Amino acid sequence: MPAAAPLPPAKRAAPAGAGAKAAPTSPGERLGLRSDWDFALHLPLHYVDETRITPIAQLREGRIAVVQAQVLQAELMAARRRVLRVTVEDGSGRLELRFFHFYPNWSRQYAPGKELRIRGEPRRGLFGFEMVHPVCRVAAPGEALPQSLTPIYPAGAGISQAWLRKAVAAALRRLDAREWLPADLLERLQLPPIAQALQLLHAPPPQLALEALEQRSHPAWRRVKFDELLAQQLAQQMARSRRAEQRAWPMPERGGGLVQSLLRALPFALTADQAGCVAEIALDLQREQPMHRLLQGDVGCGKTVVAALAAAQAIDNGFQCALMAPTDILAAQHLQRLAGWLQPLGVGVAWLSGAQRKREREAELARAASGEAALVIGTHAVIQDKVQFARLGLALVDEQHRFGVAQRLSLRAKGAGEQRQPHLLMMTATPIPRTLAMAVFGDLDISTIAHSPPGRQPVRTRVFSSDQRREAVKQRVRELVLQGRQVYWVCPLIEPSEPGEGEAGGEGGEGGQLGARPRAGARGGQPELRAALEAHAELQALLGEQAGCVGLLHGRMPSAHKAQVMEDFAAGRLRLLVATTVIEVGVDVPSASLMVIEHAERFGLSQLHQLRGRVGRGSQAAQCLLLFSEPLSQTARARLQAMHESSDGFVLAQKDLELRGPGELLGQRQSGLQGLRHADLREDEDLLELAREAAASLLREHPLAAREHLQRWLGAGMDWLAA
């Protein structure tokens, strides 16, 4: 390690940072920096080398350098615009400085004879080298050169590097950076002590290779990233052990019971993957600790039946099971499917939806409360205060990423009683790359359905320019519909004035406020988007006499109406379904074999994949046509290309991670990744693995160090512990 230098001594005049703290919006607060630790972890983006003075004769074109030279001449030139021209000389040569923006007093400040310290990029001019707008100041007589590289920090508008440098240096002096991680751990991972790492990152010695620093691969950087990931992993593992202290009702498998009957009644055999997941879940349910498991698998891989079997096991043991889905359409579909499977076997099913009439709703509530309904299915309505269960033993959350942490937890809270928690199974069709799963769901067990049921044909995906091919695509759709095939036509928006229908169905989504829908057309929007309403009219016209088979589905329709449309489409009464992204999640109509997506460039990769997953669910060869409009950004192009090349959700999720970064992939709110300031999961996968192992051994062998580490890293606003 080159930088064994101790932290700078603590006694110096109070720097700007300390005094500025009191002001309500100090520069630091504007950057989100409050504690000394915050400042210490505000790490430079890059560095400039001011440790050496380059003689003017040795300057090289384009290479930033520091020069110390005497002013020969300073003159204000009034050509087309005013220019301050300062000529300096250092004994080896002459250099010309030019300023287009300057204060009037500068020509006095840079008067002939003054000694200047100048940093800038030399360019070859008419009469030798010149620098335009160099960083420049009068050098103090006999002023020493800095011993370390000069850090350039991320800074916001109006916050100067000089201020930040002082504030960070002051924070570093005050900081208690005693090492708290065990030496053998650091040695094994070849990581430097934290004080040394921070010192090096803020003030690297001049001989250090800047590349390793700026690319963040230097051991000092790795130490900081490791620490951050370690804090996160510690938080998760602690949450996990707290969970292990909780109790749940054990639900043993009963041979010949409901599970067996359901398996016999299914029109298909489980795939090996499905059977594996069922077995993992069955084991969890038998235990006295609450299950906390994520069932992940690509769209259409068959998660529902796995959930149904879990429900059967719970119900067989005399418990109730609740299933919550993010949209009306999806919940209704679960109702249809699960009730179809379980009702004939004698299971009472209740239905709860925000759109329900009061009388109906109260009857359903009563059936849930009395225990008459062993299975309760619904939307967010399931977690409302009024809902009570007689004996909730298992909570199922479909498309869990659509719900916030609080919503998932509140479903579980419905069953908490007698010191027992219900088991929790969450499902997601947004497959999460392993790295991300570990980072986000470190305290969650994961079951994966890796392969879809056999006989599925991959969806052939083609990408077309809307300008050039939209008419041809319409004609193709017409032909297919007239042949009796079923087609989805997906539009991004329902009305020209509406800015996006982010949460399918507008049912509160992550916000969870039932009924709090944005007013249609309230915000002036993106008229360039082709509205579903227009497309619907257009496609009806296209089909002429067959216009009756064109349906419309969007989030603002009343639930009953939506359900009716889906039913008509499923039954084949509708053959062309014009829809917004309300169909994105979980809708299952196996006979549909073509999907057209308009403005595909506006969708995210996982959203496109989800949408595409609506087709190719039957045995028919299916196609997906992505229409895009110019201009096409580079990432949009890469997304569409990825869709064309792959139909594997895991591959696409990995690609999405590369293209967008993890925060967006999962939605900032629930990902818990907003806390990651330094580590980058795309690059630091190895560190994450190490942090995970280290967290476990630290908790076991050095619980005090683990606590200290968490305290340092868990600043305000980090709620890793909550989920």
- If one asks whether residue 431 binds ligand ADP (CB under 6 A), the answer comes out as no
Phi, psi of 539 (to 5 degrees): -75, -30
Q: Tell which one of 167, 262, 299, 440 touches ligand ADP (CB under 6 A).
A: 299
Q: How many CB atoms lie within 10 A of CB 674?
A: 12
CA distance 307 to 285: 12
- If one asks whether residue 588 binds ligand ADP (CB under 6 A), the answer comes out as yes
Q: Which of 51, 3, 723 is nearest to 407 (CA)?
A: 723
The interface with ligand ADP within residues 320-349 (CB under 6 A) comprises none
414 and 422 Cβ atoms separated by less than 8 Å: yes
For residue 459, what are the CA distances in angstroms to 477, 593, 650? 16, 9, 16
Give which of Mg ion, ligand ADP, none residue 506 binds (C-beta under 5 to 8 Å, depending on kind).
none
Give which of ligand ADP, Mg ion, none residue 301 binds (C-beta under 5 to 8 Å, depending on kind).
ligand ADP
Q: Which of 455, 473, 449 is nearest to 463 (CA)?
A: 473
Report the residue number whose CB is nearest to ligand ADP: 302
Q: Which of 294, 564, 508 is nearest to 381 (CA)?
A: 508
Provide the minimum distance between the beta carbon of 665 and ligand ADP in the complex, in angstroms, as a whole number.
Answer: 18
- Burial classification of residue 2, based on how many CB atoms lie within 10 Å of its CB (0-12 exposed, 13-18 middle, 19 or more buried): exposed
Give which of Mg ion, ligand ADP, none residue 300 binds (C-beta under 5 to 8 Å, depending on kind).
ligand ADP
* DSSP of 15-67: -HHHHHTTSTT-HHHHTT--SHHHHHT---SEEE--SS---GGG--TT--EEE
Nearer to ligand ADP, 224 or 308 (CB): 308
Give which of ligand ADP, Mg ion, none residue 305 binds (C-beta under 5 to 8 Å, depending on kind).
ligand ADP
Give which of ligand ADP, Mg ion, none residue 223 binds (C-beta under 5 to 8 Å, depending on kind).
none
- If one asks whether residue 512 binds ligand ADP (CB under 6 A), the answer comes out as no
Nearer to ligand ADP, 237 or 304 (CB): 304
State the Rg of the chain over Cα. 32
Give which of Mg ion, ligand ADP, none residue 492 binds (C-beta under 5 to 8 Å, depending on kind).
none
Nearer to Mg ion, 193 or 586 (CB): 586
Cα end-to-end distance, the chain, whole Å:
39
- Burial classification of residue 517, based on how many CB atoms lie within 10 Å of its CB (0-12 exposed, 13-18 middle, 19 or more buried): middle
Binding piece for ligand ADP, criterion CB under 6 A, among 296-304, 353-361, 382-390, 500-508: 296-304
Binding piece for ligand ADP, criterion CB under 6 A, among 118-126, 178-186, 302-310, 316-324: 302-310
Q: Tell which one of 250, 453, 518, 715 touches ligand ADP (CB under 6 A).
A: 453
- Interface size with ligand ADP, residues (CB under 6 A): 18
Give which of Mg ion, ligand ADP, none residue 672 binds (C-beta under 5 to 8 Å, depending on kind).
none
Nearer to ligand ADP, 300 or 404 (CB): 300
Binding piece for ligand ADP, criterion CB under 6 A, among 205-213, 269-277, 538-546, 632-640: 269-277
Binding piece for ligand ADP, criterion CB under 6 A, among 25-33, 267-275, 543-551, 634-642: 267-275
354 and 380 Cβ atoms separated by less than 8 Å: yes
| Residue 170 CA to its chain's centroid (Å) | 34
Binding piece for ligand ADP, criterion CB under 6 A, among 9-17, 38-46, 107-115, 585-593: 585-593
CA distance 317 to 367: 18
Binding piece for ligand ADP, criterion CB under 6 A, among 270-278, 599-607, 642-650, 693-701: 270-278
Provide the minimum distance between the beta carbon of 532 and ligand ADP in the complex, in angstroms, as a whole number.
Answer: 23
- If one asks whether residue 303 binds ligand ADP (CB under 6 A), the answer comes out as yes
Provide the minimum distance between the beta carbon of 233 and Mg ion in the complex, in angstroms, as a whole number.
Answer: 30
503 and 582 Cβ atoms separated by less than 8 Å: no
DSSP 98: E
Element spanning 689, H or E: helix 685-701
CA distance 73 to 97: 10
536 and 580 Cβ atoms separated by less than 8 Å: no
Provide the minimum distance between the beta carbon of 297 and Mg ion in the complex, in angstroms, as a whole number.
Answer: 9
Q: Which residues bind Mg ion (CB under 5 A)?
A: 586
- If one asks whether residue 612 binds ligand ADP (CB under 6 A), the answer comes out as no
- If one asks whether residue 268 binds ligand ADP (CB under 6 A), the answer comes out as yes
Q: Is the CA virtual torsion 253, 257, 258, 259 positive or negative?
A: positive
Q: How many CB atoms lie within 10 A of CB 668?
A: 12
Provide the minimum distance between the beta carbon of 426 and ligand ADP in the complex, in angstroms, as a whole number.
Answer: 13
Nearer to Mg ion, 324 or 679 (CB): 324
Q: Tell which one of 17, 586, 616, 675 touches ligand ADP (CB under 6 A).
A: 586
Give which of Mg ion, ligand ADP, none residue 302 binds (C-beta under 5 to 8 Å, depending on kind).
ligand ADP
Give which of ligand ADP, Mg ion, none residue 270 binds (C-beta under 5 to 8 Å, depending on kind).
ligand ADP
Give which of Mg ion, ligand ADP, none residue 268 binds (C-beta under 5 to 8 Å, depending on kind).
ligand ADP
Nearer to ligand ADP, 453 or 512 (CB): 453
For residue 439, what are the CA distances in angstroms to 89, 147, 217, 237, 297? 57, 39, 20, 11, 18
CA distance 283 to 263: 17
Q: Name the site residues for ligand ADP (rule: CB under 6 A).
A: 268, 270-271, 274, 297, 299-305, 429, 453, 586, 588, 590, 617
